[in-house]
Amino acid sequence: MIKNIWKEFRKNRAFRLGVILLLFFISMAVLAPVIAPYDPEALLGMPNQRPSAAHWLGTNDIGQDIFSELVYGSRISLKVGIVAALAVTTLGSTIGMVAGYYKGVVDKVFTVLTNVAMTIPSLPLTILLVGFLKTGMLGMVVAICITAWAGTARVVRAKVLQIRELPYIQIEKLMGVSDFKVLFKHIVPNIADIVMTRCALSVGGAMMTETSLSFLGLGSFTQKSWGNILHFAFYRNGVINNMWWWYLPPILCISGCMLGFVLVTHYGRSRSQLIKG
């Protein structure tokens, strides 16, 4: 496994760039206290400073160090993204798997549900849900989960529908192996790669939603995320006064991070695997 990843890392340029980007942002989140020069909450005197040796990205309107905010912000953004993506993927895959494996009435019900979920515009619904649920990370994760599972469910269902007709699954049924074992021993490993791909893409999607919500002021105000920084940059005249060191870095971070998650899904798509035997 590790050997394969290393091989892929060496040969596949897209995957390599993705891994490097993600390692960069993850180490930023993990090592935040080491990297950040100041406490992001601390009021350091002079507000609205330009970038300088003391404050690499200047300070905001109440005198907090923007670079420190940015470094700590990666924690919230990544955490929400990853937790929401795991929840979305678990929910979506389970529904897709059950629908695809059992077919019939179960499938029809889930397909209708999926189609309904896919037609509802997700951002307005998420906003609505966040409004009703408690603010904070949990509310946000639940809201993202409710609106974002359908895509994964659909992809997984299609794949399971295809796999269940293959002889190796039919043989299991003929031998009298239980559905539970067939699902977890024989179907799960064979859909693992698409589930992982969906999961990585969901992280990007969830981070985007989190950013949008925080930007709109629906995130949690107590915790600083990249969207939260953008929110203040926008509403407290950072954008109008063209203080690029305030609004540009969080945008670059979000874009870079999302790009990283998209690129790692290129795992296994290098050209060298075309020919066999």
Partner 1 sequence: MLIEAKGLKKTYKNNKGVRIEALRNANVAVRENECVGLFGSSGSGKSTIGQIMVGLLPPDEGSISYRGKSVKIPYGKGIRREIQMLYQHPEVSFNPKLTLLRSLIEPYQLMGIDPSRERILEDNYRFGIYAEHLERYPGELSGGELQRAALARILVLKPRFIVLDEPTSMLDAISQAQVVQILREIQKETGVGYLFITHNKALCQAFSSRFYRIREGITEEVSSL
Partner 2 sequence: MLDIQNVSVKFSSASEVGAVEDVSLTLQKGTKTALIGETGSGKSVLLLAVMKLLPATAEISGSVLLEGTDLLSLSEEELETIRGDRISYIPQGGGNGLNPLMRIGMQIGEPLIDHRGYSKKKAIAQSVELLRRFRLGKEETWVRAYPHMLSGGMRQRAMIAMGIAAGSRVILADEPTKGLDQDRIQGVAECFQYLQGETLLCVTHDVNFAASVGEYISVMYAAQQLEYAKKEAFFEHPLHPYSRAILDAMPERGLKSNIGFAPPHDAYSVKGCRFSDRCPYKNKLCDEKKPPFIDVKGHKVRCWQYAD
Q: Which residues bind partner 1 (CB under 8 A)?
A: 166-168, 170-177, 185-186, 189-190, 276
Backbone φ, ψ for residue 235 (5° rounding): -80, -15
Cβ distance to partner 1 smaller for residue 45 or 167: 167
How many chain residues are in contact with partner 2, going by CB under 8 A? 5
Cβ distance to partner 1 smaller for residue 34 or 174: 174
Cβ distance to partner 2 smaller for residue 240 or 274: 274
59: which strand partners?
A: 65
Collapse the DSSP code of 65 into the 3-class scheme (helix H, G, I; strand E, B; otherwise coil) and give the result: strand
Q: Which residue has the tokens 């309904």?
A: 116
Residue 274 touches partner 2, criterion: CB under 8 A: yes
Name which of partner 2, partner 1, none residue 189 binds, using a CB cut-off of 5 to 8 Å depending on partner kind: partner 1
Name which of partner 1, partner 2, none residue 271 binds, using a CB cut-off of 5 to 8 Å depending on partner kind: partner 2
Residue 275 touches partner 2, criterion: CB under 8 A: yes
Name which of partner 2, partner 1, none residue 235 binds, using a CB cut-off of 5 to 8 Å depending on partner kind: none
Query: Which residues, 6 or more positions from 84, have their beta carbon under 8 angstroms from its beta carbon?
Result: 140, 141, 144, 145, 148, 202, 203, 206, 209, 210
In one-letter notation, the amino acid at residue 69 is: E
Query: Which residues, 6 or more positions from 164, have their beta carbon under 8 angstroms from its beta carbon?
Result: 100, 101, 187
Residue 167 touches partner 2, criterion: CB under 8 A: no
Residue 34 touches partner 2, criterion: CB under 8 A: no
Site for partner 2 in 253-272 (CB under 8 A): 271-272
Single out the residue of 47, 40, 27, 22 nearest to residue 225, CA to CA. Answer: 40
Residue 158, both tokens: 């299609």
Cβ distance to partner 1 smaller for residue 102 or 247: 102
Cβ distance to partner 2 smaller for residue 176 or 271: 271
- The CB-of-192 to partner 1 minimum distance in angstroms stands at 8
Residue 175 touches partner 2, criterion: CB under 8 A: no
65: which strand partners?
A: 59
Cβ distance to partner 2 smaller for residue 240 or 275: 275
Query: Which residues, 6 or more positions from 73, have their beta carbon under 8 angstroms from its beta carbon?
Result: 40, 224, 225, 226, 228, 229, 250, 253
H helix or E strand, kind and range, residue 177:
none
Question: Footprint of partner 2 on this chain (CB under 8 A)?
Answer: 271-272, 274-275, 277
